[in-house]
Amino acid sequence: MTSARRVAAEAWGFRARVEEEAALRFDGLAATIAGFDGASPVPALMRRAAEDERRHAGLCAGLAESLGAPVRLGDGKWIRVAPEGLDARSAILYEVVAACCITETESMSVLTTLLEEEHAPGIREVLHAIARDEVVHSRMGWAHLAREAEAAEVGFLSHLIPVMLTGTVDDALFGPPPADEDGEGLLRLGVLPHRQKRESFVGTLEQVVFPGLERFGVDPAPARAWLAARTSAT
């Protein structure tokens, strides 16, 4: 197996698992948000998103298997990421911002970059199918944040965004690329090489996520400092 094929197989397997976990998270968040904001369109979108994510998990697992690394699904869990000490509604806001405003927005950026490239047969169709849905998955986070910003003080999130970012990305992203990386081969198999993944992550934070947070009353200064500490060291 080539280096690119092995790395891509692992990446698609990892994607299958995060898509499965996202489905469980969206099911749980939908039920909870509906309990305190009955007029919100977000719970219905999240229930639909959960179905999307289950479908995505199957698509990603299929590619992982075709690349030589079968992945077992069905034992995923919704692992809460909100810190202890937040009340229920604030904890849900934390979960939504971490999952949708940051992670789904970053995923959408990766997909957009990948769709500009040439791919091996079967890859492009999967990327397209997932990208079509991920737009809504990101939007529902911004929709929920916008609604909560009308009803409550959301500024408490400001110092928690670096915590979310630390849990979202591995520090290796800010280190050197793997010495034997086959960038062209990875792109053909639907995976961003190290340099492009880092550019996508940083650019999306600086130009999409941080301005978005600021727009809805969450000061992005601590998150900007978190990013500066990592990008200035490399």
Partner 1 sequence: MRFKKLFQVLVLGGAVVGASSGCVPAANAQGKDKKPPPADAGTSSAGGGVKGW
- With binding defined as CB under 8 A, does residue 158 bind partner 1? no
Q: Where in 175-214 is the site for partner 1 (CB under 8 A)? A: 203-204, 206-208, 211-212
Half-sphere exposure of 39 (CA within 13 A, CB side): 2
Binder among 68, 167, 175, 178 for partner 1 (CB under 8 A): 167
Of 8, 49, 63, 99, the residue at the interface with partner 1 (CB under 8 A) is: 99
Residue 129, interface with partner 1 (CB under 8 A)? no
Q: Which is nearer to partner 1, 68 or 211 (CB)?
A: 211
For residue 169, state whether it binds partner 1 (rule: CB under 8 A). yes
**What Rg do the C-alpha atoms of the chain give, in angstroms?**
18
Please pick, from the candidates 98, 126, 186, 223, the single residue that binds partner 1 as defined by CB under 8 A. 98
Decide: is 89 part of the binding site for partner 1 (CB under 8 A).
yes
Residue 19's closest CA among 55, 68, 64? 55
In the bound state with partner 1, the residue whose beta carbon lies nearer, of 66 and 112, is: 112
Please list every residue from 132 through 151 that binds partner 1, using CB under 8 A.
Answer: 135, 138-148, 150-151
| Residue 87 CB coordination number (10 Å) | 8
Contact in structure between 216 and 150 (CB atoms under 8 Å): no
* Residue showing tokens 């130009």: 207
Please tell me the distance from the alpha carbon of residue 211 to that of residue 214, in angstroms, as a whole number.
5
Residues contacting residue 125 through CB under 8 Å, at least 6 positions apart:
none
